[in-house]
Amino acid sequence: MKKFIFLFTFVVLFIGFAQKIQAATIIAVDADTLKSRYAGSIVVEDTGFAKQYWYVEPKSQERYLLKDGVSVSRLLKTFATGIKNNDLNKIATSTASVNVDYQLTAQMRGQLLLQVEEDGQAWYLNPLDNYRYKIDNGFKGLKTLKNLALEINPGKLAVIPIVDNLNFEPLTNNNPNFPMYWEIQNILKDDYYKAEEVNNKQLFYGSLEGMVQSLGDPYTEFFSPQQKKEFDNQMQGSLEGIGAMVEQLNKTVVIISPLSGSPAEKVGLQPQDQILEANHIDLRGLTLDDSISLIKGPSGTEVLLKIYRPATQETFEVSIIREKINIPLVIGKKLDNNIAYFKISMFSLDLKASFEKIKNNTIDENTKGIIIDLRNNPGGYTSAAIDLADYWLPAGELILQEKYPDLLYQFSSRLDQEIKLPTVILVNNGTASSAEIFTSALSEHNLAKIVGQTTFGKGTGQTLLSFADGSALKYTVFEWLTPNGISLEENGITPDYLLENNSIQDQQLEKAKELLR
């Protein structure tokens, strides 16, 4: 019995093996038949999740993935066969075509044809109906080919080999589809419901803005040529609007500081105030540039802002008349008891020259102390902060450290100490960036006392790269550290004397004068 069972099993296995050999033979025969049948065709594979379209090149009988409009352009460039008008006209476009050359049609079936005597128009000779179809470059051509696709099941498709060419292979998650950029642009230009309003430059600049915003860094920005002009005006101390420095944090427009004497300051806007609406238009979720364009405007016009103030958790509306704002970089004056007072609004490139001129008219042999007012100073250029700190520090003292991914730059004072008077620096939560660099340099070298509120806490530095068309990219390149190696990002500087003002008196200024008496 055991022998019989063994023998029976062997016979079954043998029969199964013979069937596999026969099946393999059938598949081998069918492979050639299948490849020949689909040669020159556009086939579509339904994966269950998405559809993939392939072109089976008639000569090699290999398949090329039609993943986007660029794939079509590559196919035309690689495989299109030149054809003269006389021959092209012998290939039918419909049942109404006359003088059809069926022998020529049979030779060209499944091929991509390039009309060589006119504008280089491309055609596809569909082997299913023997008609030629006009194929445009890019997305339009892809749509035409997709409409001509023949369904094929995965088993049959697997028999047709995939070409060994990365340009036509399916993408992996780690391989970004850069040609998709052009495809999307063409789709918007051709199929967007207001296609006539689509502007190439707006699409281009908008895509660059989106790329930069994807980093989630509020200090890295792309500027169109117009935005770059406005940025330059702002850095030079000239702008038109409400007069407030703003950033976008968590998709909300936040005031860093209202500028001194500006309409924003006059109506009582404060650092950290959030601008929710401008003229009843919700700004949350808009880009910073779009929000700013709604807030600013010509001098003499009115804008109604809806404000949320985190400090008091109140929401209110305020009407502001826009003005043309020319910001004096430095204001210098003599206070009572021989105290020199300097209000610095921004750290622009020409700050040193402005400070030098006003300093000579404000400080004399009778000066007992100096107040540097950096409240609501949004910063500016790090070089300007270094130049200003150089007046107070002895030569060779560390002012600033710039921490890059692979190295650390240190910037020290270069000149002998020129100002040796007791100094108090006024700050608040609108004091940011280069203003914090200057403040921390004097504070950590025990050359100044700090009075006011904790500063904004901007601990990164940006560089500006300009392009030939007037656009520019401002992007973060380093984290800056104080002389003691402290990062102020999101932390800021805590004053020696924490003090808030009230509506009656500038208590911070009074405290500074008290310290210098």
Q: What is the pLDDT of residues 181-207, one digit of tens each?
A: 777 888 888 888 888 888 888 888 888
**Token pair listed for 502:** 């009230």
- The answer to whether the CB of 103 falls within 8 A of the CB of 97 is no
Output the CA torsion 491→497→502→506 (10° steps).
-110
Strand order in the sheet with 132-135: 81-83, 112-115, 122-125, 132-135
Predicted confidence at residue 373, as pLDDT, reads: 96
- pLDDT greater than 90 at residue 157: no
DSSP letter for each residue of 102-160: HHHHHHHTT-EEEETTTT--EEEE-TTT--EEEE-STHHHHHHHHHT-EE--HHHHHHS
Nearest to 183 by CA among 148, 136, 120, 119: 136
Annotation: CATH topology of 238-326: Pdz3 Domain (2.30.42)
> Band of the pLDDT at 17, cuts 50, 70, 90?
very low
**How much is the pTM?**
0.55
- pLDDT greater than 60 at residue 150: yes
> Band of the pLDDT at 356, cuts 50, 70, 90?
very high
Residue range 335-364: mean pLDDT, rounded: 92
Backbone angles phi, psi at 154, to 5 degrees: -55, -35
- The answer to whether the CB of 431 falls within 8 A of the CB of 377 is yes
Q: Can you tell me the distance from the alpha carbon of 284 to that of 455, in angstroms, rounded to the nearest whole number?
A: 25
Beta strands 132-135 and 122-125 are antiparallel
502 versus 78: the higher-pLDDT residue is: 78
Judged by DSSP in three states, 4 sits in: helix
Q: Which amino acid is at 325?
A: I
Q: Can you tell me the distance from the alpha carbon of 189 to that of 183, in angstroms, rounded to the nearest whole number?
A: 10
Backbone angles phi, psi at 57, to 5 degrees: -65, 130
**Token pair listed for 209:** 């803005």
pLDDT digits (tens, 9 = 90+) for 450-504: 999 999 999 998 888 888 888 999 999 899 999 999 999 989 999 999 998 876 7
> Band of the pLDDT at 47, cuts 50, 70, 90?
low
Numbers of helices and strands, H then E, in the chain? 15, 27
Residue range 11-24: mean pLDDT, rounded: 36
Predicted confidence at residue 200, as pLDDT, reads: 84
Tell me the HSE value of 298 on the side-chain side, using a 13 A CA sphere: 2
Predicted confidence at residue 227, as pLDDT, reads: 82
- pLDDT greater than 50 at residue 431: yes
Residue range 37-54: mean pLDDT, rounded: 84
Distances (CA, A) of 284 to 134, 249, 311, 312, 454: 47, 10, 19, 20, 27
- pLDDT greater than 90 at residue 362: yes
- The answer to whether the CB of 424 falls within 8 A of the CB of 442 is no
DSSP letter for each residue of 468-489: TTS-EEEEEEEEEE-TTS-B-T
Q: Look at 221-225, 256-260, 359-363 and tell me which has the smallest mean pLDDT.
A: 256-260
What is the overall mean pLDDT for the chain?
A: 85
- pLDDT greater than 70 at residue 108: yes
What is the distance, to the nearest Å, from the Cα of residue 318 to the centroid of all Cα atoms in its chain?
Answer: 32
Q: How many residues make up the chain in this entry?
A: 517
Highest mean pLDDT among 51-60, 130-139, 313-322: 313-322
Judged by DSSP in three states, 210 sits in: helix
Burial of residue 38 (number of CB atoms within 10 Å: 0-12, 13-18, 19+): buried
Show Cβ contacts of residue 16 under 8 Å, excluding neighbours closer than 6 positions.
Answer: none
Backbone angles phi, psi at 124, to 5 degrees: -125, 125
**Where are the chain's structural domains?**
42-172, 180-213, 238-326, 330-516
Q: Can you tell me the distance from the alpha carbon of 222 to that of 228, in angstroms, rounded to the nearest whole number?
A: 9
Q: Can you tell me the distance from the alpha carbon of 508 to that of 453, in angstroms, rounded to the nearest whole number?
A: 9
Catalytic residue list: 433, 444, 458
CA dihedral sign, ordered 482, 485, 487, 488: negative
Predicted confidence at residue 176, as pLDDT, reads: 60
474 versus 51: the higher-pLDDT residue is: 474
Burial of residue 191 (number of CB atoms within 10 Å: 0-12, 13-18, 19+): exposed
Annotation: CATH topology of 330-516: 2-enoyl-CoA Hydratase; Chain A, domain 1 (3.90.226)
3-state helix, strand, coil in the chain (%, to 5): 35, 25, 40
Task: Please give the span between the terminal C-alpha atoms of the chain, in angstroms, as a whole number.
Answer: 119
Q: Which amino acid is at 490?
A: E
